Amino acid sequence: MIPGSIKRAGRVLALGLSLGLALLLGWAMFDLPPAEIRLPEQVAARLAETGVSHPVTAVLLDFRSYDTLLEVGVLLLAVIGVLATRAEVRDGVEPAPEPVLLALARVTVPLMVVVAGYLLWAGAHRPGGAFQAGAVLAASGVLLRLAGRLPAWATPGFTMRLGLAVGLLIFLIVAAGVMVGGVTLLDYPSDLAGGLILLIEAGLAVSIGLTLAGLFLSAPAPGANREDAS
């Protein structure tokens, strides 16, 4: 590592500074006083009101559901941005699907859909939930795309666009709907909370799955760039 150029010297300097900062932060960690606020106890004390028994789901979809609502909005905006800025894709050369990959996809994709359903259901009382279920759904979409069973997204039709938005729509409808009962936004009534959370999560799983898969599926076909460049 001889700093032959200024660029390299700059890199070494940046590395040194980052390492120094990391050490400093690590050292500061040992000096931290114990936290004043005991969030786990506070969550546990009011878990019964949320209709779910898993504290992470209770925080994500009840105590801090406003954050999750905005997060889902950000995801929707991101996929709209990807679809809007995507270059016009000419038909690329679709490579012939690998037979092994195709066979693997045939076996695993149905299993992945079942796993996604399980994760969604399990979210109420153990680790799981909409994000994990959506990610597994998206992974099955990517696998189908790689195996050549799904075409790249051209322009998403009405159903696909509805699917992308359905999570946020259901979330907004429930969030605003409870206000009819005279309570504030997102303050679900305790006896309905479990069902409402499951409803929101089901919509979210579909939307998150489509959004994450869409990031991959809206990429041009593998041969498309070759034609553009040559």
Binding site for other proteins (CB under 8 A): 56, 95, 119, 127-129, 131-132, 135-136, 138-139, 142, 146, 212, 215-216, 219-220, 222, 225-226, 229-230
| H/E element, 156 | none
Shortest reach from residue 134's CB to other proteins, in Å:
9
Is residue 134 within 8 Å of residue 209, measured between CB atoms? yes
User: Both tokens of residue 43?
Assistant: 């969550």
Quick one: residue 148, left, alpha or beta (phi over 0 = left, psi -120 to 50 = alpha)?
A: left
* Choice between 110 and 127, CB closer to other proteins: 127
Which CB, 128 or 163, lies closer to other proteins?
Answer: 128
Q: What is the smallest separation between the CB atom of 139 and other proteins, expressed in angstroms?
A: 5
Name which of 1 and 180 has its Cβ closer to other proteins: 1
DSSP state of 95: P
To other proteins, the closest distance from the beta carbon of 227 in angstroms equals 9
Closer by beta carbon to other proteins, 1 or else 154 = 1
Q: How far is the CB of 95 from other proteins (least distance, A)?
A: 7
DSSP H helical ranges for 33-157: 39-45, 55-58, 65-85, 99-122, 130-146
Give 51 or 129: the residue with its C-beta nearer to other proteins.
129
205: amino acid identity, one letter? A
Minimum distance of other proteins from residue 223's CB (angstroms) = 8
Query: Distance between CA 152 and CA 218 in Å, rounded?
Result: 6
Name 190's Cβ contacts closer than 8 Å, sequence gap at least 6.
Answer: 48, 49, 50, 51
